[in-house]
Structure 1
Amino acid sequence: MKRYAYLTYLGTDDYLTGTLALIEELKNVKSKYPIYVLIANDLGKKTIYQIETIYQIETKAKIIKSQKFKIPNEILEHNNQTGYSRWNRTFEKLQVFWLEQFDKIVMLDSDMLIKSNIDELFEKPSLSAVAAGKDYPGNEKWDNLNSGTMVITPSKLEFTRLIKLIGDDTLGDQDVIQKAYPSWNKNESLHLSDIYNMISGFEAYYVGIKKLKNIKIVHFTHKVKPWKMNKIYRFKYICSLVVRQIIKCNSFLGIKSSIKDFLIYCKICDQCSPKTK
């Protein structure tokens, strides 16, 4: 029997809502494979208690504790000084390569809306991912992978190789993986459609102008996540989205799709928020 699993990473306390929302979404689309959450060792005691007791029972997701490995202080300090401190925690996501108890893993970020079943991703080759947003105006030079959605065949040897590549030129896990696989952008067999990792800010353009249909995953990559927005902030976000997209693509169809997915995601996050438990 094939040992397949979905996996997401909970690296900070304030991502608990996003993690719970992702689990709920995978259940809603009737994914047939188990869901695992890789949790950081230094989460708050309350978060660890919630995810290991209450939510593990309620969601039926399984927990894997992150192994500690040392990131050079100069790299962490460099990120702090250049305004990229939030990427420091993402290095731990590289442990997905360590988990040889699985034959294949579909790794998903915890700030995603899963709109429909994506089990077919397990049939894709290892390191399949999306060069997310490559067709959006201004991104003409972007042709590399986004680590938000990845298909991985774990290998401890590969994990060891990746860890050795962490340096001043790697802000987080995505940079390390890009560095490890410099020819990925030329291997089209590994390129997934944007439907599997649609950057939320680009959705209106892809739907309205590129006529992309059947988007399966929307990725909310902006710094302030929907579950941290109050009603006023969400309203301002929608207004800003409408203005930006009218200027960019002037497509009512695309704007409607983008707003609809944002509101759906907000609703799921609100339902999964620990505050409402």
Structure 2
Amino acid sequence: MAEKARVTESRKVWTTLITNTKYLSGLLTLDYSLKKQGSKYPLVALYTDAFPAEGHAALEARGIPKQRIEYLLPSKGKDYSNDPRFYDCWSKLTPFSLVEYERVVQLDSDMLVLQNMDELMEMELDGPELGGKGKRVFAAGHACVCNPLKKPHYPKDWVPENCAFTSQHSSPEIAQTTGPDPAVGPLGFMNGGLQVVNPSKTVYDLILAHMESEAAIDMDFADQSLLSDLFRGCWVPLPYIYNALKTLRWENVHAEIWRDDKVKNMHYILAPKPWDEMDEEGKNISKDPTHAWWVDFNNERLALEKKNGIMADGF
């Protein structure tokens, strides 16, 4: 794997995948939120060939660096017709291949940074020389396996008693600073929304080989399933505050551990997204109070762009 030229001077970057314009407002507001919180590191948009010209123009108008990547998809993958979003998720494995950077923190475009989290750029992980054989291959937050919406196509063992976050209900203060040990439940499943990675050709080759194995047909959650399976017991669990899945805040899910003032990075998983719940004037109409947080940031961004002479483009 030849080292490519970096699209930014920094050797440590945030990245986010973008394949279409449906998530573009999310990406732009994510970038704004990182800058608002004073991050020292740039966000790089990882785009695939399907990303349209108007999307490129929007990124260029705002000075957001972008880098082309290949669209990843296993040749014998699972049918995700019940959840088509997972087809795109395989490409979120790409940061492991970006060896032109020392550290990559992959973020989903439906995230909002509420506090500076540059410490993720400095946390200790295995070096590339270990080739995926150490105990700190990458860092991530846990998936919530409670299935609060009772989606019928989710695995039958996705129930609250198997969820790592349930183990912290009696110690909410610890939950703000420490991720549950993956061994506390039988699944040990990570969420792919935020991944802290030291890129490595050897690790990426392991990932590609596993993606093309017969195991791919049973990977219900694409990249998340692959990483949880391939590196079981070898990833660093982060506290929920770095990948604060919006459903954790709900009553009867994990409200016991949630603290609004501790959350560093909000993750608007599932539909609808905050940008789907705005009126024609850009005001929040969602009943979810966390959606109002995103709308406020988005409106701040749009006002600043107008002040700076960036032409309104609908994103």
TM-score normalised to structure 2 length: 0.68
Of 48, 52, 61, which residue of structure 2 is paired with 1:54?
61
Which residue of the partner structure matches residue 131 of structure 1?
142
Which residue of the partner structure matches residue 246 of structure 1?
none
The amino acid across from 1:66 in the alignment is I
Of 64, 67, 76, which residue of structure 2 is paired with 1:64?
67
Determine the C-alpha separation between the residues in 2 that align with 1:211 and 1:157: 37
Alignment RMSD (CA, Å): 2.9
Which residue of the partner structure matches residue 268 of structure 1?
297
Q: Does 1:218 find its partner at 2:266? A: yes
Which has the larger share of helix?
Answer: 1
Which residue of the partner structure matches residue 250 of structure 1?
none
Identity of aligned residues (%): 22
Indicate conservation of the 8 Å contact 1:17/1:272, yes or no: no
Of 168, 174, 197, which residue of structure 1 is paired with 2:224?
174
SS of structure 2 residue aligned to 1:223: coil
The amino acid across from 1:192 in the alignment is L
Q: Does 1:146 find its partner at 2:149? A: no
Q: Could you report, residue by residue, the CA deviation over 1:155-214 in whole angstroms, capped at 9, with x for unpaired residues?
A: 122112212222112242111211211224xx6xx1111111111122255895336451
Which residue of the partner structure matches residue 162 of structure 1?
207
Which residue of the partner structure matches residue 16 of structure 2?
8
Which residue of the partner structure matches residue 229 of structure 1?
277
Determine the C-alpha separation between the residues in 2 that align with 1:18 and 1:54: 16
- Compute the displacement of 1:134 (Å): 6.7
| Aligned residue-pair number | 243
Determine the C-alpha separation between the residues in 1 that align with 2:222 and 2:209: 13
SS of structure 1 residue aligned to 2:85: helix
SS of structure 2 residue aligned to 1:64: strand
Determine the C-alpha separation between the residues in 2 that align with 1:75 and 1:210: 36
Indicate conservation of the 8 Å contact 1:97/1:159, yes or no: yes
Indicate conservation of the 8 Å contact 1:11/1:90, yes or no: no
TM-score normalised to structure 1 length: 0.77
Determine the C-alpha separation between the residues in 2 that align with 1:194 and 1:135: 15
Unaligned ranges ≥5, structure 1:
242-258
Which residue of the partner structure matches residue 196 of structure 1?
242
- Compute the displacement of 1:46 (Å): 2.0
The amino acid across from 1:97 in the alignment is F
Indicate conservation of the 8 Å contact 1:88/1:172, yes or no: yes
Determine the C-alpha separation between the residues in 1 that align with 2:258 and 2:226: 33
Determine the C-alpha separation between the residues in 1 that align with 2:258 and 2:31: 29
Indicate conservation of the 8 Å contact 2:249/2:258, yes or no: no
In the TM superposition, 1:117-128 aligns within 5 A as 117-126=116-125, 127-128=138-139
Indicate conservation of the 8 Å contact 2:146/2:162, yes or no: no
Determine the C-alpha separation between the residues in 1 that align with 2:86 and 2:145: 21
- Compute the displacement of 1:9 (Å): 1.0
Which residue of the partner structure matches residue 86 of structure 2?
87
Determine the C-alpha separation between the residues in 2 that align with 1:111 and 1:62: 18
SS of structure 2 residue aligned to 1:178: helix
Indicate conservation of the 8 Å contact 1:29/1:115, yes or no: yes
Which residue of the partner structure matches residue 45 of structure 1?
53
Of 4, 13, 30, which residue of structure 2 is paired with 1:22?
30
Unaligned ranges ≥5, structure 2:
1-8, 126-137, 149-158, 164-187, 303-311
Which residue of the partner structure matches residue 99 of structure 2?
100
Q: Does 1:34 find its partner at 2:42? A: yes
Which residue of the partner structure matches residue 77 of structure 2?
75
Indicate conservation of the 8 Å contact 2:26/2:109, yes or no: yes
- Compute the displacement of 1:84 (Å): 1.9
Q: 1:45 to 1:144 in 2, by over 3 A?
A: same
Indicate conservation of the 8 Å contact 1:8/1:108, yes or no: yes
Indicate conservation of the 8 Å contact 2:46/2:68, yes or no: yes
- Compute the displacement of 1:140 (Å): 2.6
The amino acid across from 1:266 in the alignment is V
Determine the C-alpha separation between the residues in 2 that align with 1:69 and 1:6: 20
Which residue of the partner structure matches residue 209 of structure 1?
256
SS of structure 1 residue aligned to 2:262: coil
Indicate conservation of the 8 Å contact 2:189/2:224, yes or no: no
